[in-house]
Amino acid sequence: MKISIFGLGYVGSVSAACLADRGHSVIGVDPNPTKVDLMNAGKAPIVEPELGELTAHAVAKNLMSATTDAAQAIARSDLTFICVGTPSQRNGSLNFVHLEKVCDEIGSALAKKNTFHVVVVRSTILPGTMKSIVIPRLEKHSGKKAGKDFGVCNNPEFLREGTAIYDFRNPPKTVIGETDPHSGDLVQELYVGLPGPMIRCGIEVGEMVKYADNAWHAVKVAFANEIGKFCKAAQIDSHKVMEIFCQDTKLNLSPYYMRPGFAFGGSCLPKDVRALTYKAQAMDVSTPLLSSLLPSNRDQIELGIEMIMRTGKRSIGILGFSFKAGTDDLRESPLVDVIERLIGKGYDLRLYDSNVNLARLTGANREYIYKIIPHIERLMVDRIEDVLAHAEIIVIGNNAPEFAAVAARLKPEQRVIDLVRIKKIEQEHRNYDGICW
């Protein structure tokens, strides 16, 4: 395929050399003539292991060249990558001056093309940037319509400095955010044969993925460092602790606990986080990340309460209020917090949870229910039908399998607030709202 790459910085230079190495014809575009001259001479514009050799080889085989002429590059290519920088400004926002400039240049060049051309943003951009900046500017300067007259995709990179060539050849995943399937197909062709999953998605999801990745990487570094500081103060081998931690790929390094939803609760997580941060304070060890966990969890509880109160309805039904499905444990259940707040504000509630109903009769929570939260016990009903008949607002508190069948029994005017994302209700009930989706 004939490819033009705008921006010969770190991402653009690596992408150009690697795509040329895969047999594609690549034209690099940059306003800096020094970078252009270096590439045309077979020299890498940046320092990165293997990049010099790949650049020299590609130029020698006439698979890669560079120019300062944007219009010429567009005319000689079928697909364009945008790899310009989006640096931080003083307030933390991104500076889009380079992105805006190349979109204007590409759009003007597209106005002169009669063939279908695909523009792919590889720069790291915040969600909404494609629709608010990239597509409008391309359309304005080309006089054409995205998705019809030309294609638009985003294709975030997952390259680490020092191992970028290896990472290009061995990606953890390839993500293509697309406005139309044809454009996505053309981008996918570039990566045929590479390992890792090939993921096609909407452009907003594609924009967000890189930020989710990098925020998680930052969380991991900060988490490991705070555990390390705690261990040093307690004279514990932090590397041994984290070595054992990382061997758990069922819960620790896994998709588990990684689905957005409601707050955590139960007998372990709140208690143990509280104890760990208390001990850290006692040892005069700063743990801002760990200390933020319970306040962040409280914010999620407040969000759930606000969603209910914003409806303006007073009759509330809650399906599932143990801290997770399949258990009768109400200790530090965030749903109990929600229920108690709503009772205090005078809402009319009905509560159903088959496991808690059983616990009321025989379980270990019997004493807790009768002595600690008797005001909640009086609102519990034995059948889902009793909740549905009573409530204007139905709150799904956990993902017990029986709640999926509720979709067909809801009245059109009943509003559902789902804290766990039960797909059947989301898909079948029009008056639906999820806490994080």
**What residues are labeled active site?**
268
Q: Phi-psi bin for 64: left (phi > 0), alpha (psi -120 to 50), beta?
A: beta
Concatenating the DSSP letter of every residue in 406-422 gives: GGGG--TT-EEEESS--
From residue 312, alpha-carbon distances to 301, 309, 393, 426 in Å are 18, 6, 10, 21
Query: Can you tell me the distance from the alpha carbon of 238 to that of 230, in angstroms, rounded to the nearest whole number?
Result: 8
Strands of the sheet with 25-29, listed across from one edge: 64-67, 25-29, 2-6, 79-82, 118-121, 151-154, 174-178, 198-202
Query: Can you tell me the distance from the alpha carbon of 175 to that of 294, in angstroms, rounded to the nearest whole number?
Result: 33
Query: Can you tell me the distance from the alpha carbon of 158 to that of 139, in angstroms, rounded to the nearest whole number?
Result: 28
Contact 335, 318 (CB under 8 A): yes
Which residue's structure tokens are 């209020």? 321
Contact 319, 396 (CB under 8 A): yes
Query: Can you tell me the distance from the alpha carbon of 246 to that of 251, in angstroms, rounded to the nearest whole number?
Result: 10
Concatenating the DSSP letter of every residue in 346-390 gives: T-EEEEE-HHHHHHHHTSTTHHIIIII-HHHHTTB-S-HHHHHHH
Kindly tell me the burial class for residue 349, based on how many C-beta atoms sit within 10 Å of its own C-beta (0-12, 13-18, 19 or more).
buried
Residue 369, amino acid: I
- Residue 324 has which token pair? 């997770």
Query: Can you tell me the distance from the alpha carbon of 339 to that of 316, in angstroms, rounded to the nearest whole number?
Result: 10
Close Cβ partners of 112 (under 8 Å, ≥ 6 residues apart): 71, 75
Sign of CA dihedral 163, 166, 170, 175: positive
Query: Can you tell me the distance from the alpha carbon of 130 to that of 394, in angstroms, rounded to the nearest whole number?
Result: 36
Residue 82, amino acid: I
Concatenating the DSSP letter of every residue in 242-257 gives: HHHHHT-TTTTSSSTT
